[in-house]
Amino acid sequence: MIRVLVADDQALVRAGFAMILSTQDDIEVIGEAADGMQAIDQGRQLHPDIVLMDIRMPVMDGIEATRRLVTACPATRILMLTTYDLDEYVYQALRAGASGFLLKDVLPADLIRAVRAVLTGEALLAPAITRRLLEQYLRRPRPSGGEPPWSRLTQRETEVLRLLAKGKTNPEIASALFLGEATVKTHVARILAKLQLRDRVQAVIWAYETGLIQPGE
């Protein structure tokens, strides 16, 4: 059972998402929060698998709430909600530890798929909007001397990470590198472990920030 907490300052939005998700046998909405502080409190008490987190909320916004929740509840995945596809805060939210984002006008079927996908770590990298946000708001640190940060990875792991950062799915990576999907999954798991990253979204951010991938590639 996938346990979900819905955090949004609009009661109708919370009720709508809860109603959609509750139609699924494998998803349970275990709580609702009207602001970031409530989201943190309920997250710590209930330990949800997924939090649907609005970016703009009173008392505490979704970005700070995300930053605190991923520290307090490492197993919880945060799926950000935004009204605009170029919300200036979306990149900050991803960097704070969110595993992806959705527009509030998302179709019910897409919302359900996103919740399931985020839990497996596969979610919300392929859409072009995600890459556009990363490129638009990215602030990479200045290059420094010494070995590149990805030198701790093998050559094959670096190749996998490059494709992953471009939004490729496991089957697409497997096809491009002539590997089996199970092998790709193993490489991804090793990359995340070596770089101490939460999921694929964080791997994309890392690849851009370190210069492994250049905006526009």
Averaged pLDDT score across all residues of the chain: 85
Nearest CA-CA partner of 5 in 42, 40, 51: 51
The CATH number of the structural domain formed by 2-124 is 3.40.50.2300
Neighbours of 97 (CB within 10 A): 21
Q: CATH 3.40.50.2300: which residues of the chain?
A: 2-124
The CATH number of the structural domain formed by 142-210 is 1.10.10.10
**Binning pLDDT at 50, 70 and 90, where does residue 6 land?**
very high
Nearest CA-CA partner of 55 in 39, 73, 71, 76: 39
**Binning pLDDT at 50, 70 and 90, where does residue 143 land?**
low
Q: At 186, give phi and psi (nearest 5°).
A: -65, -45
**Binning pLDDT at 50, 70 and 90, where does residue 46 land?**
very high
Q: At 3, give phi and psi (nearest 5°).
A: -95, 125
Q: CATH 1.10.10.10: which residues of the chain?
A: 142-210
pLDDT at 126: 42
Chain segment 148-199, per-residue pLDDT in tens: 888 899 999 999 999 988 878 889 999 999 999 999 999 999 999 999 888 8
**Binning pLDDT at 50, 70 and 90, where does residue 206 land?**
confident
Beta-bridge partners for 27? 2
Q: At 54, give phi and psi (nearest 5°).
A: -70, 145
Tokens describing residue 215 = 């905006």
